[in-house]
């Protein structure tokens, strides 16, 4: 999974990226200090693996991971190549979802590219640039598909007419400043929409970057957060409240110190943890687990994945030679205290090729190649 961190210059993108990846991306108080996207791989925290490790005493523990990409700050006119617009748009096309950092704090020492802090204006600036880029993409799609209407095959012609109809609906929505992700489509239509690779079709999480004083209350008393929240609700998107500076401090601490510091701040989990959870929900992802002496590991799959395809995440040979999956839920395994105890109680299930994997399935695949 690849998440792109975007936002206007100087809103805290690179600071947040530094914090969650500890990758040391350049961060400075001037626009465009991030020219090429910085990339960092982040392990996904999963307390279940620690509990399985206590049970199995494995040689190693392997967490699943997310790739974060810190993309250059965007300005008005990016869709026409202003600033680093063309690079910005190209890098966004490569990510699975967008994390848009929105500045929700005042600081006279940190310049804002528009001269003042305004979440609504900032979000609209980025949305409009992505919409302009999508409109240009659609124009080309419609023009190209229209040329195919001369085909003799009536079935193909009907298909192309349907595609043009969908593109025109999207175009009308974009012209009303509605991102593609806010429009409604059937499953068949979604497949066609996905083939257009539109920027505003990508799932988005808004990260409200607040001062430390606003963190404990989730920005409840911050009018800038309220302003952003109202926009997010209209769009039906996701939002987390975080402090890039605090995340930077948390990143330097050991696990025990981190928990104590979060407690002192009056928050239960870090912004990174919240961001990862929201990302999983947004992209429809879950994790199944494998456990044994050699390794305890989490594997990320899409909701609805069947057992053989999940096995393929481990190795293509296991999918090809899939016989069955032996599965016990994580909760049942921990409650029983051991795999054998769970088996004696009939909690280890034999599942076949049509079984749909569930989050937290502790799985042993049987296969023959």
Query: pLDDT by residue (tens digit) across 311-336?
Result: 999 999 999 999 999 999 999 999 99
Instruction: Give the per-residue pLDDT at 277.
Output: 86
H-type alpha helices, the chain: 13-21, 47-56, 85-93, 119-147, 154-175, 187-194, 212-215, 223-235, 244-251, 255-265, 271-283, 307-314, 316-320, 330-336, 339-344
* Percent of the chain at pLDDT exceeding 70: 90
Provide the pLDDT confidence category of residue 112 given band limits of 50, 70 and 90. Answer: low
Other beta carbons within 10 angstroms of residue 336's beta carbon come to: 17
Cα–Cα distances in Å, from 182 out to 6, 178, 185, 273?
19, 7, 10, 26
Half-sphere exposure of 254 (CA within 13 A, CB side): 2
pTM here? 0.81
Q: pLDDT tier at 163 (50, 70, 90 boundaries)?
A: very high
> What's residue 31's pLDDT?
38
> In this predicted model, what pLDDT tens digit does every residue of 17-35 receive, in sequence order?
888 777 544 444 433 334 4
Range 81-109 average pLDDT? 76
Give the count of alpha carbons within 13 A of 272, CB side only. Answer: 27
The token duo for 5 is: 């961190």
Mean pLDDT of 346-358: 97
Q: What is the pLDDT of residues 267-301, one digit of tens each?
A: 888 888 888 888 888 889 999 999 999 999 999 99
How far is 50 from 46, CA to CA, in rounded Å?
8
Note the pLDDT of residue 39: 81
User: Of the given ranges (59-68, 81-90, 224-233, 354-363), which has the lowest mean pLDDT?
Assistant: 81-90
Three-state secondary structure call for residue 325:
strand
Structure tokens at 332: 């049942």
Which whole number is the average pLDDT over 202-221?
Answer: 90
Q: Is 236 left (phi over 0), alpha (psi -120 to 50) or beta?
A: left
């Amino acid at each position: 999974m690849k998440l792109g961190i975007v936002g206007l210059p100087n809103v805290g993108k690179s600071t947040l990226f530094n914090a969650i990846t500890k990758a040391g991306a350049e961060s400075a108080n001037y626009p465009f200090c991030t020219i090429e996207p910085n990339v960092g791989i982040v392990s996904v925290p999963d307390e279940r693996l620690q509990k399985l490790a206590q049970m199995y005493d494995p040689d190693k523990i392997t967490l699943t991971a997310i790739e974060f990409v810190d993309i250059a700050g965007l300005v008005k006119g990016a869709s026409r190549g202003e600033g680093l617009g063309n690079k910005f748009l190209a890098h966004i096309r490569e990510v699975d979802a967008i994390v848009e950092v929105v500045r929700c704090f005042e600081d006279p020492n940190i310049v804002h590219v528009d001269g003042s802090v305004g979440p609504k204006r900032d979000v609209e600036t980025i949305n409009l640039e992505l919409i302009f880029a999508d409109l240009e993409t659609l124009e080309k799609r419609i023009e190209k598909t229209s040329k195919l209407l001369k085909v003799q095959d009536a079935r193909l012609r009907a298909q192309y007419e349907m595609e043009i109809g969908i593109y025109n609906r999207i175009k009308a929505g974009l012209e009303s400043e509605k991102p593609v992700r806010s429009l409604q489509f059937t499953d068949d239509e979604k497949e066609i929409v996905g083939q257009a690779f539109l920027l505003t079709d990508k799932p988005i999480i808004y990260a409200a970057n607040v001062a430390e004083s606003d963190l404990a209350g989730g920005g409840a008393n911050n009018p800038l957060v309220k302003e952003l929240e109202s926009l997010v609700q209209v769009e039906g998107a996701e939002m987390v409240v975080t402090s890039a500076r605090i995340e930077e401090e948390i990143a330097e601490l050991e696990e025990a110190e981190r928990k104590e510091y979060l407690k002192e701040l009056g928050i239960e989990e870090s912004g990174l943890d919240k961001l990862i959870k929201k990302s999983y929900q947004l992209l429809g992802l879950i994790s199944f687990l494998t456990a044994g002496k050699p390794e305890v590991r989490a594997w990320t799959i899409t909701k609805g994945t069947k057992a053989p395809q999940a096995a393929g995440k481990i190795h293509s040979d296991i999918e090809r030679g899939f016989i069955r999956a032996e599965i016990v839920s994580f909760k049942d395994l921990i409650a029983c205290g051991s795999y054998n105890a769970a088996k004696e109680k009939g909690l280890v299930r034999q599942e076949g090729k049509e079984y749909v994997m569930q989050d937290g399935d502790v799985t042993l695949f049987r296969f023959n190649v």
